Chains A and B, each alone.
Chain A
Amino acid sequence: MGFLDISHVTKSYGSVQVLHEVDISVQEGEFLVLVGPSGCGKSTLLNMIAGLEAISSGDISIKNRVINDVHPSKRNIAMVFQSYALYPNMTVGQNMTFGLEMHGVPKPERDRALADVARLLQITPLLDRRPGQLSGGQRQRVAMGRALVRNPDVFLFDEPLSNLDAKLRVDMRTEIKKLHQNLKTTIVYVTHDQIEAMTLSTRIAVMNKGYVQQLGTPKDIYDTPANLFVATFMGSPAMNIMAAKVVAQNGVPHAEITDADGATRHLRFSQANLADWVGRDVLLGIRPEAITDPEGADRKSANIQPFANRVTVTEPAGSDTFVTMTLGGRDAIARMRADASVAPGEVFDFAINMEKAVVFDPVSEARIPA
Chain B
Amino acid sequence: MSGVTQETAVNTGRIARVFIYLVLLLFALFYLLPLYVMAVNSVKPLAEITGGNMLALPKILTFEPWRQAWSTAQIGVEPTGLKPYFLNSILMVVPAVLISTVVGALNGYVLTKWRFKYDTVIFGLMLFSCFIPFQTVLIPMAMVLGKLGLAGTVSGLVLVHVVYGIGFTTLYYRNYYASFPTELVRAAMIDGAGFFRIFWRIMLPVSGPITVVSVIWQFTNIWNDFLFGVSFGGTSQPMTVALNNLVQSSTGVKEYNVHFAGAILAALPTLFVYIVAGRYFVRGLMAGSVKG
A interface residues, Cβ below 8 angstroms from B: 50-52, 71-74, 77-79, 81-83, 85, 87-89, 98-99, 102-103, 146
Closest residue of chain B to A97 (Cβ to Cβ) is: B191
Chain B residue, CB-CB nearest to A98 = B191
A72 lies within 8 A of B189 (CB): yes
Assess whether A87 is in contact with B188, with CB atoms less than 8 Å apart. Answer: yes
Smallest CB–CB gap between B291 and chain A, Å? Answer: 14
A-B contacts, 9 of them at CB < 8 A, read A50-B186, A79-B190, A81-B187, A85-B184, A87-B184, A87-B187, A87-B201, A87-B202, A89-B202
- Complex Cα–Cα for A71 and B205 (A): 25
Q: B187, A79: Cβ atoms under 8 Å?
A: yes
CB distance from B181 to the nearest CB of A (A): 6
Instruction: Say whether A102 contacts B186, CB under 8 Å.
Output: no
How many angstroms from the CA of A52 to the CA of B183 in the assembled complex? 10
Q: Which 8 A-B pairs have the closest CB atoms?
A: A102-B192, A73-B192, A99-B191, A89-B205, A85-B187, A85-B183, A81-B183, A72-B190
Residues in A with CB closer than 8 Å to B191 are: 73, 98-99, 102
Contact partners of A103 in chain B: CB under 8 A: 192
Beyond contacts A89-B205, A102-B191, A102-B197: 6 other A-B pairs, Cβ-Cβ < 8 A, are: A50-B190, A51-B190, A73-B192, A79-B186, A87-B184, A87-B202
Give the shortest distance, in Å, between B94 (CB) and chain A (any CB).
26
B10 to chain A, nearest CB (A): 35
**A52 engages B189 (CB within 8 Å):** yes
List the B side residues contacting A81 at CB < 8 Å. 183, 186-187
Neighbouring A residues of B206 by C-beta, 8 Å: 88-89
Assess A85 versus B181: contact at CB under 8 Å? Given A79-B187, A102-B197.
Answer: yes
- Residues of chain B with a CB closer than 8 A to A99's CB: 190-192
Q: B residues within 8 A CB of A74?
A: 192
Question: Measured between C-beta atoms, what is the minimum distance from A136 to chain B in Å?
Answer: 16
Residue tally, chain B, CB below 8 Å to A: 16
Task: For the complex, give the distance between the alpha carbons of A102 and B192 in Å.
Answer: 5
B263-274 interface bits toward A, Cβ cutoff 8 Å, 1 = contact, 0 = none = 000000000000
Q: In B108-144, which residues have CB < 8 Å from any A CB?
A: none
B285 at interface by CB-CB < 8 Å:
no
B181 CB contacts on chain A under 8 angstroms: 83, 85
Does residue B39 face the partner (Cβ distance < 8 Å to A)? no
Verify if B46 is at the interface (C-beta below 8 Å from A).
Answer: no
**Nearest Cβ in chain A — how far from B147, in angstroms?**
42
Q: When chains A and B are docked, how far (Å) is the Cα of A77 from the Cα of B190?
A: 8
Chain B neighbourhood of A98, CB < 8 A? 188, 191, 193, 201
CB-defined contacts of A78 to chain B, threshold 8 Å:
190
Distance A89 CA – B189 CA, assembled complex (angstroms) = 17
Residues of A close to B201: CB separation below 8 A: 87, 98
Are B193 and A83 closer than 8 Å at their CB atoms? Answer: no
CA distance A67 to B206 in the complex (A): 33
In the complex, the answer to whether A85 meets B197 with C-beta atoms within 8 Å is: no
Q: Report chain A residues within 8 Å CB of B197.
A: 102
- Residue of B186, B192, B193, B205 near A85 (CB, 8 A) is B186
CA distance A82 to B192 in the complex (A): 20
CA distance A79 to B201 in the complex (A): 19
Q: Name the residue on A nearest B180 (C-beta).
A: A88
Closest residue on chain A to residue B181 by CB atoms: A83
Chain B contacts with A in 219-240, Cβ cutoff 8 A: none
Q: How far is the CB of B238 from chain A (nearest CB, A)?
A: 37
Could you tell me the distance between the alpha carbons of A146 and B202 in the complex, rounded to whole angstroms?
16
Closest chain A residue to B204 by CB distance?
A89
- Bound-complex Cα distance A82 to B187 (A): 11
| Residues in A neighbouring B193, C-beta threshold 8 A | 73, 98, 102
Q: Which residues of A contact B184 (CB under 8 A)?
A: 85, 87-88
CA distance A89 to B202 in the complex (A): 7
